[in-house]
Structure 1
Amino acid sequence: MKTILVAAFDGLMDSSLAITLDTLKAGAAFLAHSRAGGKVQILTVGQGKTIRTASGLSLTPDLRLRDLPEKMPRPDWVVVTAGGLLNEEAIEERFSRPDAMALAAWLAGLDTAHTRVAVSCSSVFLLARAGLLEGRSATMTWWLAHLFRRLHPGVKLDETRMLVSDGPYLTAGSAFSQLDLSLAVVADTMGVKVAHLVSRYLLIDQRPSQARYMMPTHAKDVDPTVVAAERWIDAHLSEPLTVARLASALAVSPKTLARRVEAASGISPVKLIQRRRLMRAAHLVETTPLSIDRIAEEVGYQDGTALRKLMKREFGATPTALRK
């Protein structure tokens, strides 16, 4: 029998807990009634006797951290619930609390040869603070990526992706990517067929990228040159754009621009230009009846064919799929 522990802490996002348990338990139910049969044990674990969610609801965990590993020596997966829509000022306070620190220490002590860990949204900070993501690839909620990159430069962050797996760690993007995370755990522990069945019953769409949901940089501590670069690019999307032209408009050298963009976003100025074009294209696809060829012109591509290929590669979906 396989075991999945759902780790919870005070202030967790209510929907994250519900999404995780509903998805995992739906999978377990389908597995039990399948021809193959099988059983998966799903238990909640926390620091105290009671856990208070962000909305004030109470959860009594099945297990407490201090009871492990005696009562549960080796789970197959630990799924950490999302920390919620924290602002930047709350990150330090949230993950410096005793319950979060205890959870981080316990995660750091897991035997990752047998146990994998799944974390999404702002809770990815928890793994990073424990040093578990150093030198590894990861994703997280896109609107805190600039802060994460500054605090944990040793992590190879790509906030455009919905899920990133590196070794024993599976990370996911913003809050509701907990759904994608949980479905991936179902696939690993119960099989791809069961995961597909869960996705159909719960109407879970495939969303390999969170890039198209990203908005212009709005955080107050992002390099103002990068913010200005995004705004200038957005105002000139239909025109031929080069890094040299962008740097000239911002009165910095191409080398300085590249250094600042890389530090703030982890990508090159060329990639930044492409990202802004694709984000605008996705918005137009979803909100207007314009043809793909016309949208391509609006965002600076010669024809719709190039745009279709790029959107499929970066978003994991064609323009037609986005428009449905």
Structure 2
Amino acid sequence: MKTLLILALDGVMDSSLAITLDTLKAGQGFLARSRQPAAIRIATVGYGKSVSTGAGLKLTPDMIFNEVAALDTVPDWIIVPGLGLASDAEIEARFARRDVRAAMDLLQEAAGRKVKIAASCSAVFLLGQAGVLNGHQVTMTWWLASLFRSRFPTVKLDESKMLVRDRDCLTAGSAFAQLDLALAIVADTMGSSVAQLCSRYLLIDQRPSQVRYMIPTHRQHTDPTVVAAERWVDKHLSEPISVARLSSTLAVSPKTLGRRIEAATGVSPVKFIQRRRLMRAAHLIETTSLSIDAIAEQVGYQDGTALRKLVKREFGTTPGALR
């Protein structure tokens, strides 16, 4: 018997919870009809006997927190759906709640027992606050990445990725990356063939990167030097841009610029410039009929071949597939 527990806290994102249940139960159904069915238990877990979702719906969980310790076997996975948090104030308020503190205790105990733990979007903050991510590589929703870094500097965050697995922790990007997370858990517990069936029946596309979805004008941080760097780079994408030129324009040393960019975005200045180019290129590919060569010229690449290779490497797809 493999046991998958879904941690449902008050305010849980309805879509994230539903995606998790639908994907796991689809896998459970396919597995039950296979030649070698295995027993899979899927259960929702709440602090009390009733959970209110973010949209105000009521959920009666299959068990409460206190009953997890009484299970006959150690759970294989504990999954935390998105929490719908959008600001530092909301995160602080959520962390102060009794049910959330109890959830962190449960996660700490589970981590000590080597239970695999998964979370997506803003729920990754909960794992960070519980202390189960220290030294781990993770991803999360890209537009809260700077806030996450400021809170948890010992966690290695790469918000460009859609899904990151590091030891017993699995994290995913923004809200609908819960699909990718749930599918990965299906593969882990029910097999890759069942995961492929789920992917086909539920029309789940592979999306290895969040970079193409990032909004260039959405400021993730408040560092004035990095904000100025973003604005200047975006205005000069068609030109050669070196770190030396950028630092000179902003009147800071290359070392200072590198330190501030990495603290705010988690990447080096070179990668920072490349990411701005690719974000603009993805926007032009998706919203115009310009040729790839013309777009490459606008964003500072010598030809379309170089841009195609970078799009394939960073987005996991071809420029044509973005149109």
TM-score (norm 2): 0.97
- Contact conserved, 1:85 with 1:175, CA < 8 A, in 2? no
- 2:67 and 2:61 map into 1 onto residues whose CA distance is 12
Amino acid at match of 2:308: R
Q: Secondary structure at the match of 1:308?
A: helix
Give 1:237 shift.
0.4
Which residue in the other structure is 1:155 paired with?
155
Is 2:309 the counterpart of 1:309?
yes
- 1:220 and 1:214 map into 2 onto residues whose CA distance is 10
Which residue in the other structure is 2:76 paired with?
76
Which residue in the other structure is 1:230 paired with?
230
Is 2:249 the counterpart of 1:246?
no
- 1:262 and 1:86 map into 2 onto residues whose CA distance is 22
Which residue in the other structure is 1:65 paired with?
65
Give 1:142 shift.
0.6
- Show CA shifts across 1:80-107 (max 9, x none): 1111142232111112211111111111
In the superposition, relative to structure 1, how do residues 311 and 6 fare at CA in structure 2: closer, same or farther (>3 Å)?
Answer: same
Which residue in the other structure is 1:292 paired with?
292
Give 1:274 shift.
0.2
Q: Could you list the runs of 4 or more consecutive aligned residues of structure 1 that deviate by over 3 angstroms after TM superposition? A: 111-114, 217-221
Q: Which moved more, 1:70-79 or 1:170-179?
A: 70-79
Q: Which moved more, 1:251-260 or 1:174-183?
A: 251-260
- Contact conserved, 1:281 with 1:299, CA < 8 A, in 2? yes
- 2:110 and 2:31 map into 1 onto residues whose CA distance is 27
Summarize the alignment of residues 1-324 of structure 1 with structure 2, pairs less than 5 Å apart: 1-71=1-71, 73-110=73-110, 114-216=114-216, 218-219=218-219, 221-323=221-323
- Show CA shifts across 1:128-173 (max 9, x none): 1111111110001111100110111000000000011111000011
- Contact conserved, 2:145 with 2:220, CA < 8 A, in 1? no
Give 1:70 shift.
0.8
Q: Secondary structure at the match of 1:110?
A: helix
- Contact conserved, 1:243 with 1:254, CA < 8 A, in 2? yes
- Contact conserved, 1:30 with 1:194, CA < 8 A, in 2? yes
- Contact conserved, 1:88 with 1:144, CA < 8 A, in 2? no
Q: Secondary structure at the match of 1:161?
A: coil
Aligned length: 323
Amino acid at match of 2:245: R
Amino acid at match of 1:63: M
- RMSD between superposed Cα atoms in Å: 1.4
- 2:72 and 2:182 map into 1 onto residues whose CA distance is 21
- 1:51 and 1:72 map into 2 onto residues whose CA distance is 25
Amino acid at match of 2:197: L
- 1:295 and 1:219 map into 2 onto residues whose CA distance is 24
- 1:287 and 1:47 map into 2 onto residues whose CA distance is 46
Q: Which moved more, 1:234-243 or 1:78-87?
A: 78-87
In the superposition, relative to structure 1, how do residues 220 and 274 fare at CA in structure 2: closer, same or farther (>3 Å)?
Answer: closer
